[in-house]
Amino acid sequence: MTTRWRVGLVGAGVMGRRHAVAIAAHPRCRLGAIVDHSVERAASLAADVGAGSVAGDDIDLLAACDMVVVATSTPSHHGVAAPLVAAGVPVLVEKPLAATTVELDELLVHARRSGGVVAVGFQQRHHPAWIAALQLIGSLDEPVVEWHAARTSPTVPRAQGSAVLDLMVHDLDLFDQWCPIGDDELEVVHRGLFARAIGTVGDVDVQFVADRDAASVVRRIDVRTARTHLAVDLVASTVDVIDPRGERSIAVDRDLDALAAQWQWFLDLVEGGHDRSAELDSIERVHRAAFRIDAAAVAVA
């Protein structure tokens, strides 16, 4: 018999709604409960996606759920996720997993003790252009010598968190998918809403830039070997290659929905299709690097 998962959702805002649509569309899932401090907002979302119960701040409603998505503001992630993770309930938490290293450590301890499944909303891992780029990078016959990532956005008055924890953390995660990243390998330059982390990981010159006061949205990764330049544009969903043969574009599956792909990946993680311990290790590496960069950025602001 095929398992049909009952999913709980905490947070009915913009990201909560996107998660709800992805969950409701999956044939093996049903959205059993939505929890939000605004009962009206939760009820409206439930009506739109055909969910079951709704509640205000009563997370006890989640007890009947097989897994939970936490799509609330960053300061509340730990408080919502910690008891669930400690009880072994599979949890997908929007990035960042926690607001501080202390909260991060506690969640990771709970997960490792309980054997619970924890994933972070690193949706960019499942972006079709990134998938195409990562396959191409893996096929290169020369070592990568440079990896530069830039992620910028115009100022959003209600945005929470720093440029590092809101933007750069995605690029740290993407790099870690290719090469495990250490939290002590990067130097930090910071000015206002702008942050840059530079350094060398292995033999690769790396640079990560995040700017929340930019003129436009940029999501770009440039990867270079001695003779090849890969230009990955996650906004345009393109991957271009410049090498001795000239310049060409790589096919990208633009029909792939990254959030739906992330949800399927999470279900596979829950069902043992991915290495849970390796995923926790990656989450820890990426967050420790992000927290150190963020702390250094604040210190020199």
* Same domain assignment for residues 105 and 130: no
Determine whether 36 is exposed, middle or buried from the number of CB atoms within 10 Å of its CB (0-12, 13-18, 19+): buried
Containing structural domain, residue 30: 5-122+260-275
Q: 149 and 237, same structural domain?
A: yes
User: Are 151 and 86 part of one and the same domain?
Assistant: no
> Residue 226 gets which letter from DSSP?
S
Number of domains present in the structure of the chain: 2
Is 17 in contact with 42 (CB distance < 8 Å)?
no
Same-domain check for residues 180 and 244: yes
Residue 224 lies in a domain: yes
267 and 244 both lie in a single domain: no
Q: Is 283 domain-assigned?
A: no
CB neighbour list of residue 295: distance below 8 Å, 6 or more residues apart: none
Model pTM score: 0.93
Residue 209 and residue 89 share a domain: no
Do 43 and 97 reside in the same domain of the chain? yes
Whether 109 is in a domain gets the answer yes
Residues 20 and 85 in one domain: yes
Residues 116 and 226 in one domain: no
Q: Is residue 280 part of a domain?
A: no
Considering the domain boundaries, does residue 229 fall inside one?
A: yes
**CATH number for the domain that contains residue 215:** 3.30.360.10
Digitized pLDDT (tens) for each residue of the chain, 301 residues in all = 467 899 999 999 999 999 999 999 999 999 988 999 898 999 999 999 987 777 766 777 788 899 999 999 999 999 999 999 999 999 999 999 999 999 999 999 999 999 989 999 999 999 999 999 999 999 999 999 999 999 999 987 666 678 999 999 999 999 999 999 986 777 777 655 788 999 988 899 999 999 988 999 999 999 999 999 999 999 999 999 999 999 999 999 988 899 999 999 999 999 999 999 999 999 999 999 999 998 885 655 4
